[in-house]
Amino acid sequence: MPSGRPLDLNIPRLDHDFKRLIQDKIDQKTKPPGSLGQLESLALKIGLIQNTATPKLNKSCIMVFAADHGLAETGVSAYPPSVTAQMVHNFLAGGAAINVFARQHGLDLLIVDAGVNADFPALPGLIKAKIAKGTANCLNAPAMTAEQCLQALLKGAELVLAQHASGCNCIGLGEMGIGNTSSAALLMHALTGLPLTACVGRGTGLDDRQLRHKLATLEQATGLHATGGDALKALQAFGGFEIAMMAGAFLQAAALRMVILADGFIACSALLVASRWYPAVVDYCVFSHVSDELGHQTMLEILQAQPLLNLSLRLGEGSGAALAFPLLQSAVAFLNEMATFEQAGVDQA
């Protein structure tokens, strides 16, 4: 296994020798060059990921990873930890925002119990992958044991393999977990060296007093775990089971040349971790939006990402990924269906 990498995968950089062929096809469409803006770069990216000038989106899905966090016991969220399990029930009943958007856009929706502090019956759309009933409070111990962390990474990869085997080649990754903006901020701080004040936001809607408490709590946590910027140590110390599973899912999806729709701050924190092992994983990601969570814009800049949407979202659940999905459909559709100047008999500039 490569040194320092918990998963042994082949994730090559995209073949930019193929870029000219796809770009020529885009430029021959009946429009001024570049006039479709980001849709053109999106079509190019999807073509490069799939290594074809005629890309397709098959059995696209959103996978939402849910887990509880021991740190939530300290009041770093405006909502109590019990809300994680309650929202999973809401997902499974079809009542959450992600359910609405997934139905609207014809996306399959899978809910992964990565580590919720509750037991769920076998229900359609639920994947039981619980590592434990929530992580440890990182004020007392690392959030995960080394074994749990690796188990979560491998499980995320395994779940993506199963989706790919079913015919899916486009996957959106989202999450649910009370307290997980704290984990994401701690990971961002540990891996970038940025001050916590640049990483910690209001999460579910903290007021000023609650935000000060959150920042002080996270400052205390950082002093307890020396990670030295090591991604695996940081993930074990501060991560959540849903974040670790997403990191594994990002890596496996890239290795399978799937188009990956990254959601918001927490999902991107998992990608930040994954990119420390395989930097090329970012090449396979479409960044759905920039959220209102402090730190997300900076995180996107670190990942050299250009988000598709800026709607002031801060919900999670993969909601941004679902909202951006129709833009991927439009990019693929114009590339495959729009007439060329020659076909339409239209003079070029």
CATH class of 61-333: alpha beta
CB atoms within 10 A of CB 56: 11
pLDDT tens sequence across 290-301:
999 999 999 999
Q: What is the average pLDDT score of the chain?
A: 96
Residues 6+ apart with CB under 8 A from 293: 181, 201, 202, 203, 264, 265, 314
Of 179, 162, 88, 155, nearest to 125 by C-alpha is 88
- What pLDDT band is residue 3 in, cutting at 50, 70 and 90? very low
Q: Is the pLDDT of residue 48 over 80?
A: yes
- For residue 193, what are its two tokens? 């060296």
Query: What integer pLDDT is reported at residue 2 of this predicted model?
Result: 39
Q: Tell me, what's the pLDDT at 15?
A: 84
Cβ-contact 72, 178 below 8 angstroms: yes
Rg (the chain; Cα; Å): 20
Residue carrying structure tokens 């559709």:
333
- Write the pLDDT tens digit of every residue in 212-252: 999 999 999 999 999 999 999 999 999 999 999 999 999 99
349 pLDDT above the threshold of 90: no
HSE (CB half, 13 Å, CA atoms) of 22? 26
d(CA 107, CA 333): 17
Average pLDDT over residues 271-299: 97
The mean pLDDT value for 136-142 works out to: 97
Alpha helices for 166-200 (secondary structure H): 180-192
| 75: CB partners within 8 A, 6+ apart | 210, 213, 217
Annotated domain spans of the chain: 61-333
Distance CA 42, CA 32 (A): 17
The DSSP code sequence of 57-109 is --S-EEEEEEE--GGGGGS-SSS-THHHHHHHHHHHHT-SHHHHHHHHHT-EE
Based on the residue annotation, tell me whether 317 is a catalytic residue of this protein.
yes
- Does the predicted model carry a pTM greater than 0.85? yes
From 158, 293, 317, 342, active-site residue: 317
Distance (Å) of CA 44 to CA 24, 167, 250, 308 = 10, 22, 20, 14
Position 239 scores a pLDDT of 98
At 1 the pLDDT is 34
